[in-house]
Amino acid sequence: MALLRALRRARPPLYSPEAPLSRRAPGPPALPARPLRLLDPIGFRPFSAAVATAPEMGASLFRGLMETRFPKRRPGFVSRRKRASLRPKGPHYWVKCMPGEPIPSSQPNEGSVQGRKEKKRIKQRKDFIMSVSKDSVSKLKKAEKRKRKAQYSVAVKRKEAERTERKMAAVARDRAWVERLAELKQMEAEKRAAMA
C-alpha cells in the first residue's frame, strides 16, 4: 500500500480541478513517446523495453552466460603487456645494470623463473658433485664413451649382416622363380606335344 501511495504522489495527475483550462485551439497531437532503451545486465546489448518480455529477458540472460565467442582470459605464463600510460618515462628506467656488469639471477630478462629456488638448489648440487669428483667424472665419461663406441660398432655390424641376408634371400628368390618358370614352360610344351 505504501508503494502505491508513493507511486501516486510521484506521477502527475491527468486532470486537476485547480489547473485553469486553456482557451487556445488544440495544437497538433503530441508524438507518441519513444520506447525506453534499457541495457541487458549480462551482454550489454540495447533492446526496447516494449519488446522485452519476461521469457525473452531470461533467454537473453542465459545467452549472455553461454556466449562462447569471447572466452574468458586464462592465466598465462607470460605476463600481459602493461598499458602505455603506466610505463615509466624514458629508456633509462629499463636498464637494470651497466654494460659489462653481470645480470643478477634475481632479475631475469623475461618475467620470473618458476621454481627458481629449486633450480638453484639443483645447480648447486651439480656444481658440488662436479667439483668434488672431477677425476672420477672424467674416468666415467671415458668409460661411457668406450661403451657407446662398442655398442655403435655392434649395431653397424648387425645392420650389415641383415643387409647381406636380405640380398642373398632376394637372389635365391630370383633363382627359384627362374627354375619354376623353366618347369612351367617345359610342362606347357609337353602338353602341346601330347595334344598334337
Model confidence at 20, pLDDT cuts 50, 70, 90, reads low
Residues belonging to the chain: 196
Model confidence at 141, pLDDT cuts 50, 70, 90, reads confident
**pLDDT tens across 56-104, in order?**
555 566 665 666 665 555 556 666 665 555 666 666 556 666 778 777 7
Spatial distance between the Cα atoms of 60 and 66, rounded to a whole number of angstroms = 10
**Given this model, what pLDDT does residue 150 score?**
93
**Given this model, what pLDDT does residue 131 score?**
75
Model confidence at 156, pLDDT cuts 50, 70, 90, reads very high
Contact 63, 78 (CB under 8 A): no
Q: What angle do CA 31, 37, 40 make, to 5 degrees?
A: 165
**Given this model, what pLDDT does residue 99 score?**
73
Q: Could you write out the three-class secondary structure of the chain?
A: CHHHHHHHHHCCCCCCCCCCCCCCCCCCCCCCCCCCEEECCCCCCEEECCCCCHHHHHHHHHHHHCCCCCCCCCCCCCCCCCCHHHCCCCHHHHCCCCCCCCCCCCCCCCCCCCCHHHHHHHHHHHHHHHHHCHHHHHHHHHHHHHHHHHHHHHHHHHHHHHHHHHHHHHHHHHHHHHHHHHHHHHHHHHHHHHHC
pLDDT at 110 over 90: no
Lookup: cell for 4: 502505491
Q: What is the pTM of this model?
A: 0.28
Q: What angle do CA 164, 166, 169 make, to 5 degrees?
A: 110
Report the pLDDT averaged over residues 22-29: 57
**pLDDT tens across 112-139, in order?**
567 778 888 999 888 887 776 666 777 7
**Given this model, what pLDDT does residue 153 score?**
94
